Amino acid sequence: MTAIDTGLQDLKRRHPEWEPWLAVVQEVLSETTNPEWDTFVPARTRAQQSKVPLLADITLALDKRSVRRLLENLIRIAHRSGTPEMATLEPALHADLDFLNLFKASLCQDSDRLKEIAADLGADSEAFQAVAALLPVPLLNACNRRWASSKSVSWVEGYCPVCGAWPAFAEVRGIERSRYFRCGRCGGEWQAHCLFCPYCGMTDHNELVSLVPEKSGVTGVIDACKRCVGYAKTFTALQGSLPAKVLLDDLASAHLDLAALEQGYKRPQGAGYSLDVTVTDNGKAWRRFF
Choose, by CB under 5 A, the member of 183, 224, 247, 256 that binds Zn ion.
Answer: 183
Closer to Zn ion by CB, 160 or 251: give it.
Answer: 160
* Cα separation, 160 vs 229, whole angstroms: 20
Closer to Zn ion by CB, 87 or 195: give it.
Answer: 195
DSSP string, 36-67: GGGGGSPP--SPPPTT--TTTT-EEEE-HHHH
200 binds Zn ion (CB under 5 A): yes
55 binds Zn ion (CB under 5 A): no
Closer to Zn ion by CB, 51 or 227: give it.
Answer: 227
Sequence-distant (6+) residues with CB within 8 A of 137 are 28, 29, 31, 32, 185, 186, 247
Candidates 16-24, 226-234, 244-252, 276-284: pick the segment binding Zn ion (CB under 5 A). Answer: 226-234
CB of 143 vs Zn ion, minimal distance in Å: 8
Closer to Zn ion by CB, 19 or 38: give it.
Answer: 38
Closer to Zn ion by CB, 68 or 145: give it.
Answer: 145
Q: What are the beta bridge partners of residue 223?
A: 210, 232
225 binds Zn ion (CB under 5 A): yes
CB of 286 vs Zn ion, minimal distance in Å: 29
Q: x/- site string to Zn ion, residues 132 to 171, per CB under 5 A?
A: ----------------------------x-xx-x------
DSSP string, 204-268: -TTTEEEE---STT---EEEEETTT-BEEEEEEESSPPPGGGHHHHHHHTHHHHHHHHHTT-BPP
Task: For the chain, give the number of residues.
Answer: 290
70 binds Zn ion (CB under 5 A): no
Count of chain residues binding Zn ion (CB under 5 A): 16
Q: What are the beta bridge partners of residue 189?
A: 182
Q: What are the beta bridge partners of residue 60?
A: 279
Closer to Zn ion by CB, 165 or 256: give it.
Answer: 165
**Residue 238 DSSP class:** S
Half-sphere exposure of 115 (CA within 13 A, CB side): 4
199 — phi, psi (to 5°)?
-90, -40
199 binds Zn ion (CB under 5 A): yes
197 binds Zn ion (CB under 5 A): yes
Interface ranges with Zn ion (CB under 5 A): 160, 162-163, 165, 183, 185-186, 188, 197, 199-200, 202, 225, 227-228, 230
